[in-house]
Structure 1
Amino acid sequence: MTEYVTAADGTRIAFDREGSGPPVILVDGAMQFRGFDPATVEMGRLLAGHGFTVVHHDRRGRGESPADAPITLAQTIDDLRALIDELTEGADDAVALFGNSSGGSIALAAAASGLPISRLVLWEVPLDDEGGTEGSEFLAGLRSRVAAGDGDATIEYFMKDMPPEWLAGSKASPGWPIMTAMGPSLEPDSESLAWTQSAPRAELWAGITQPTLVLVGEETLDIMGPAADSIVASLPNARKGTLPAADHRWEPRSMALAIAEFLVG
């Protein structure tokens, strides 16, 4: 059954809660929400079966969490704060975060902001080179397309550096109108990725001392391995792991087991 929390600005965030045990919040990446991402829904169910309370929410501007543009990274972190408040009872309580793709950079930003987070699991966060300007330039381009209200152009722009067959497949699928409608919600993804280039990462993430697992697939895009290595090198308590996965996709059972083993350990 769908539940709701209210963020600081009054926006209502929809979520599902499953299982019993230490809490884990799933932070979706681009174009993902509960009604549009069966793999993550299934993974959350399996993870709950390992003895965790798993919360899967519709990020602001997606699914059953409608919101007007602009949608910012700060608002997205406030939404996570509201979810954490819902899940915890005392000052010493904390939750784990699983950040999927650009949801991983949002999870890093949430941890850096001081939210009570116990552990982080990050899957293939698509970081550009440390100290570069690609992220800020991309964010400016995305914002201009969102402001123009052109959903097709927004998603085409967001996917321009991905394998071209991904965009072609998306445009040919019945899900394309759903994707174009969630264009404004991609700003926090892009803003968080730009933030990772805004200062030396060891400085930017110095306060993220939580144990962190940085996962990549055995077959992956060229950007993902160096990005994972950069995260591990820049965090004081992180290690890298590999899953039998390809093309930025994972199998729900393998991912649930990898997360569970790390959180228990």
Structure 2
Amino acid sequence: MTSTVFSKDGTTIAYDRRGEGPAMVLVDGALCGRAQGPMPELAEELASHFTVYNYDRRGRGESGDADSYAVDREIEDLAAVIEAAGGSAYVYGSSSGAALALRAAAAGVAIEKLVAFEPPFVVDDSRKPVPATWVEDLESRGPADAVKYFMTKVIGLPGPFVAMLRLMPAWKHLKAMAPTLPYDARVVGANVAGRPLDAAQWAGIESPVLTVYGGKSPAWMKTAVRAVADAVPGAECQEVPGQNHMIKTGAIAPVVTEFLR
């Protein structure tokens, strides 16, 4: 059943809750929502150990949006869900959702422990850099072109693959999510510039943090995730063998449960 909470700026944030145990909030990455992507299945898997809160980030699914965007508003959204969960919670963030969760932890949001799976940072020259103008490029495009740009210029998927994807039923969902791609770009920020991370951005994190990457993920991603662990005070880092950025629920759920319990 869908529940809602008001963020600090009055935006309605929709979430669902399942399971029993300590509160845990899931934070999605780009083009994913409460009903589409990896989190619904993960929520079901984790519900035997936690009370899991799975929410639609602003602009997605049943959540509202505002006339203008700021990363601080998304941090406030996560804080509002955590408040609804009892005032503090464990958090699992995936991809740009991991980047958002790290920002929230640094801002003092009541995160008891955080698992950050593959925040999509680029910290060296081992891959083609993300265009410096990617925020503006995404904002200036219509939904279909924005998804194509994101998948080819940012993720690095081949054009023919994206052309085939446009013929699949999932394309309609991706286009619906496209207006939020600039939000993810702003959340990730300068951490995709191909330079070493500025550790100062996470100096205020006091919660225990585990960064995680898949053993089959590209070298640049592994390097970035290790770099986050080095930059966040006291953080740990773990590899999940045989997995990549599209990590399977059965592979990540035990990692999350072991660290958080």
TM over 0.5: yes
In the alignment, which of 156, 174, 179 is matched to residue 174 of structure 2? Answer: 179
Q: Does 1:144 align with 2:140?
A: yes
Listed one character per residue, the Cα deviations across residues 126-160 of structure 1 (whole Å, up to 9, x for unaligned) are 10127xx9575322322333xxxx11111111112
Residues 48-127 of structure 1 correspond to what in structure 2 (within 5 A)?
Answer: 48-49=47-48, 51-67=49-65, 70-89=68-87, 94-127=88-121
Long gaps (5+) in structure 1: none
How far, CA to CA, are the matches of 1:136 and 1:116 in structure 2?
33
Which residue matches 2:188? Answer: 193
Do the aligned residues in 2 keep the contact of 1:243 with 1:254 (CA within 8 Å)? yes
Deviations 1:220-239 (A, max 9, x none): 12321111111011111111
- Tell me, yes or no, if the aligned pair for 2:105 and 2:205 is still in contact at 8 Å: yes
* SS of structure 1 residue aligned to 2:97: helix
Distance 1:231 1:2, change over 3 A: same
> CA 1:223 to 1:172, structure 2 compared with 1: closer, same or farther past 3 Å?
farther
CA distance, structure 2, for counterparts of residue 159 and residue 227 of structure 1: 19
> For 1:35, what is the secondary structure of its paired residue?
coil
Give SS of 1:233's match. helix
Q: Structure 2 stretches of 5 or more lacking a match?
A: none
- Trace 1:1-265 onto structure 2 (pairs within 5 A): 1-37=1-37, 39-49=38-48, 51-67=49-65, 70-89=68-87, 94-129=88-123, 134=130, 137-145=133-141, 150-160=142-152, 161=154, 162-164=156-158, 167-196=162-191, 201-264=198-261
CA offset at residue 252 of structure 1? 1.0
- Output the CA distance in 2 between the equivalents of 1:175 and 1:70: 27
Normalising by structure 2, what TM-score? Answer: 0.88
Structure 1 residues 70, 143: closer, same or farther in 2, change over 3 A?
farther
In the alignment, residue 18 of structure 1 is paired with which amino acid?
Answer: R
Structure 1 residue 125: Cα displacement: 1.3
Counterpart secondary structure, 2:140: helix
Residue 34 of structure 1 and its aligned partner are, at CA, apart by: 2.0
RMSD: 2.3
- Cα separation, partners in 2 of 1:136 and 1:96, compared to 1, 3 Å: farther
Distance 1:245 1:209 in 2: 31
Structure 1 contact 44–256 (Cα < 8 Å) conserved = no
Maintained 8 Å contact 2:22/2:89: yes
- Residues matched between the structures, number: 253
For 1:258 and 1:202, locate their aligned partners in 2 and report how far apart those are by CA, in whole Å: 25
Amino acid at match of 2:143: G
TM-score, normalised by the number of residues in structure 1: 0.87
